[in-house]
Amino acid sequence: MSEERRIKVLIAKPGLNSHDRGAKVVARALRDAGMEVIYTGLRQTPEQIVETALQEDVDVIGLSILSGAHMAHLPRIMQLLKEKGMTDVLVIAGGTIPEEDIPKLKEAGIKEVFPPGTPLEKIVKYVLENAPKRRKKE
Amino acid sequence: MEIEEIAKGVLAGNKRCIARAITIIENSPEEGQKLLATIFPYTGKAHIIGVTGPGGSGKSTLISEMTKEYRRRGKTVGIVAVDPSSPFTGGAFLGDRLRMQELATDEGVFIRSMATRNHPGGIAKATKGAVKVLDASGKDVIIVETAGAGQSEVEIAKVAHTVTLVLAPGLGDEIQAIKAGIMEIADIFVVNKADRADADKLVMDIQSVLQLEDEVLALQMRREKRAWRPPIIKTVALTGEGVPQLIEKIEEHRQYLQKGLIIKKSLENAEAELVEAIRDKVVRSIVEKLKREKRFEEILMRIVKKELDPTSAADELLNQVLR
């Protein structure tokens, strides 16, 4: 069991929103599904998020944003990830993101967006199925 | 990336390579071994500090302040923060980093969170390897935060040069922490949240236990143990109060070790690591080999039927293998 590779996830909250119950609930659910989850707290800048993802060598980044500023932060994060050569990381987003913004976010590289009301199992299942299968031997 | 490339990157201080190297050590035993063998000659320069203590004592916040102080003094810092894995799901919530996030974009700081993956003793199996990677990458100081379960975290003494035990008043179990083995491995005591009214009582409690230990050691005439008197530092991690003094004491301890004890400790650590490596390889090669033989199944049945006890069974099997 201890030699098995665990999916490593970063749950981050960019920007100024201060409600993180949702992010914590998702973090817990992913942990209960056997993943190693890093939660970095509130008010993270895109630079902090990307640097954290790099140092922790995560497989997945889950961005939680409730402030409505997703179009300001998320594409910037994708840009930074590209600059750092971290394009193999699965990036997903959740929070109060309106339907009409989802295509733009997907274009920027966010693989899936989970709006309010998404059942937890759906998110967990998505991550389990879509997290990069990192070559066991590097 | 190839192992050699990653190793080169580690030695050059490249963050992506450092991160990848630690991932390899955590997940791929063979690749990890190769990598560690390559960088091993470049380790041994960093001062390794273990920070342990019960949950809620303020370890993560304290480490953040310690790091800021080290940075002010021009040192680079590597941090490995360990949290426990769930024994049921295997997952983990790695939340130590939360208190250190202002350091996330500091070029001279590298922070890595790690799950214990049910390795006992407060650190992960890969923690030692991660420390070596950070050492080889040129970090002056490496701080390891243990999982914080309390009394069982003595593994840290095998990894760190200086073990700092962080206690805080009002946690209810500080006396328990004081009584357990952890007291014997601590080189420095920190009473955090020292702005609380009951902080001074905790300091006195620690002092009386240390005094008792002193008397016992004197009776046993163990001179060398008495040479370093573990100091008790009061801190308020939230404000940074007391942290410069803590760093001073850590520096003093480092100088004390360099007077010769560091060789003794290094030999002890080397032995512990070698024995662990041998044990790992034995389990892996011998047990795997035995499992492939029919004899293994037969012997298991005999144990279940109470015809043979497990220890004698082990003797039987090993006699075959080690003849």
Range of the domain at B37: 1-41
Q: What is the mean pLDDT of residues B270-275?
A: 88
The ipTM value here is 0.91
Write out chain A residues lying below 8 Å of B104, CB-based. 40, 47-48, 51-52, 55
Pick from A27, A41, A57: CB nearest B101: A41
B100 and B141 together in one domain: yes
Does residue B197 share a domain with residue B170?
yes
For residue A71, pLDDT over 90 is answered with no
Q: What is the mean pLDDT of residues A32-42?
A: 93
Q: Are residues B36 and B111 in the same domain?
A: no
Residues of B in contact with A80 (CB under 8 A): none
DSSP B150-202: STTTTTHHHH-SEEEEEE-TTSS-HHHHHHSTHHHH-SEEEE-STTSTTHHHH
SS3 track for B191-234: ECCCCCCCHHHHHHHHHHHHHHHHHHHHHHCCHHHHCCCCCEEE
> Is the domain of B260 the same as that of B179?
yes
Is the same domain home to B16 and B85?
A: no
Do B171 and B72 lie in a common domain? yes
pLDDT (tens digit, 9 = 90+) per residue, B276-298?
A: 889 888 888 887 877 887 778 88
Decide if A39 and B93 are in contact by the 8 Å CB cutoff: yes
* Angstroms from A62 CA to nearest CA on chain B: 14
SS3 B111: strand
Chosen from A11, A28, A40 to mutate, greatest number of chain B CBs within 10 A = A40
CATH code: domain A8-129 is 3.40.50.280
**B197 CA: distance to closest CA in chain A (Å):** 30
Residues B10 and B48 in one domain: no
Q: Is residue B272 part of a domain?
A: no
Residue B237 lies in a domain: yes
B152 and B191 belong to one structural domain: yes
Residues B85 and B213 in one domain: yes
B103 vs B227: which has the higher pLDDT: B103
Contact A27/B at CB under 8 A? yes
Domain assignment present for B271: no
Most confident of A131-135, B112-116, B117-121: B112-116
- Domain residues of chain A, as ranges? 8-129
Instruction: Say which CATH number the domain at B176 has.
Output: 3.40.50.300
User: Is pLDDT at B207 greater than 80 in this prediction?
Assistant: yes
Interface test with B, best of A25, A36, A49, A83 (most B CBs within 10 A): A36
Residue of A nearest to B14 (CA): A55
Average pLDDT of the residues of chain B:
88
**Distance from the A81 Cα atom to the nearest Cα atom in chain B, whole angstroms:** 12
- Percent of chain A surpassing pLDDT 70: 94
Task: Name the phi and psi angles at A68, rounded to 5.
Answer: 85, -5
Q: How many CA atoms lie within 13 A of B152 on its CB side?
A: 9
Pairwise CA distance, residues A91 & A93, whole Å: 7
Q: B295 and B187 in one domain?
A: no
Residue A96 near residue A68, CB atoms below 8 Å: yes
- Among the partner-chain residues B16, B89, B94, the one whose CB lies closest to the CB of A38 is B94
pLDDT single digits (tens) B150-189: 556 678 888 899 999 999 998 765 566 566 666 778 899 9
Q: Which helix (H) or strand (E) holds B77?
A: strand B77-83
B4 in any annotated domain: yes
Is B235 part of any domain?
yes
CA atoms within 13 A on the CB side of A117: 2
Is the pLDDT score of A138 beyond 50?
no
Tokens 């500090």 locate to B49
Q: Which of A37, A60, A83, A136 to mutate to test the interface with B (most CBs of B within 10 A)?
A: A37
Q: Please report the residues numbered 32 through 91 in chain A whose beta carbons come closer than 8 angstroms to any beta carbon of chain B.
A: 32-41, 44-45, 47-48, 51-52, 54-57, 84-85
Q: How many domains does chain B have?
A: 3
Tell me: do B79 and B107 sit in the same domain. Answer: yes
Instruction: Point out the residue among A3, A36, A45 whose CB comes nearest to the CB of B92.
Output: A36
- Orientation angle between helical segments B310-321 and B294-304, nearest 10 degrees: 160
Identify the pLDDT of residue B163: 93
How far apart CA B96 and CA B114 sit, in angstroms, is 10
Size of interface A-B (CB pairs under 8 A): 103
Regarding whether B187 and B81 lie in a shared domain, the answer is yes
Cβ contact A39–B16 (<8 Å): no
The least confident of A9-18, B4-13, B136-145, B213-222 is B213-222
Residue A1, pLDDT score = 37
Q: Is residue B273 part of a domain?
A: no
Enter the tokens of residue A97: 């993101």
